[in-house]
Amino acid sequence: MITLIITLISLWPQAGRALQVFQPYRTVGRGGEAVLRCSYELSSGMEELHLTLYRGQYEKQQMCASTFNINQSYFKAQGMVECRGEISANGVNLTVTGLKGADTDLYFCALEVLFPPPYLLRVGNGTIVYIEEEPDCPAHAEKIVADPEDTSKEAYIIPLILFAFVVIIIIIIAVINNIINMKHRRKVVGVLPVASKKLDCRFGYENFL
């Protein structure tokens, strides 16, 4: 009985200092930037916290980390990426910049209570951060999205140009053939006909009549 009482007394500070961390299931990042919500439930009296952002489900990679006070409204953290945190009463909106499409992965918020003691650590359930790939030619892509009719016009202009080019070649070939045929006809017309020659056996000379 005495042992049970001592155990309950030792666990009482921990029971009064509950800490839970929650995360959304998924978020989408654009332009190399994603906003990740790290929500938490704190017991009263907790002041100094430490937030770490990890990437990967099995081999966790630390992306950024920062220590802050719950009375703050903003903090900035440097690491493998840049993180900016906006602090509220029940969580942190963590804006992560410098991301690429290959950085799409599962991200975890780890929250530590540094002061006052005792020390506590909780890790969130994880958020799938999907980073959209940027096009290689953003200016051209924006033009296509802004004016799709111009793209359709381009698709018709090129075949028309090719068709006109083929027609011109056919006309040129026809004209050349026509000129050659006319020259050939002129040569045939210019040749005088040769009169047939008849041999008069009575006189022994040719009769041209």
174: three-class secondary structure by DSSP: helix
pLDDT tens-digit series, residues 163-175: 888 889 999 998 8
| Confidence at 35, pLDDT banded by 50, 70, 90 | very high
Query: What pLDDT, on a 0 to 100 scale, did the predictor assign at position 190?
Result: 57
Which structure tokens are listed for 48?
């100094």
Cis ω on the peptide bond leading into residue 118 (within 30° of 0)?
A: yes
CA angle 163, 169, 171 (to 5 degrees): 105
Between residues 108 and 2, which one has the greater pLDDT?
A: 108
pLDDT of 37 above 90: yes
CA-closest candidate to residue 78, choices 66, 60, 91, 94: 66
| pLDDT (tens digit per residue) in 165-203 | 888 999 999 889 888 888 777 665 555 555 555 555 565
For residue 105, CA distances in Å to 54, 124, 209 come to 10, 15, 111
**What angle is formed at CA 27 by the lines to CA 22 and CA 32, rounded to 5 degrees?**
125
The string of pLDDT tens digits covering residues 114-155 is 999 989 999 999 999 999 987 665 555 555 555 556 556 667
Phi, psi of 32 (to 5 degrees): 75, 15
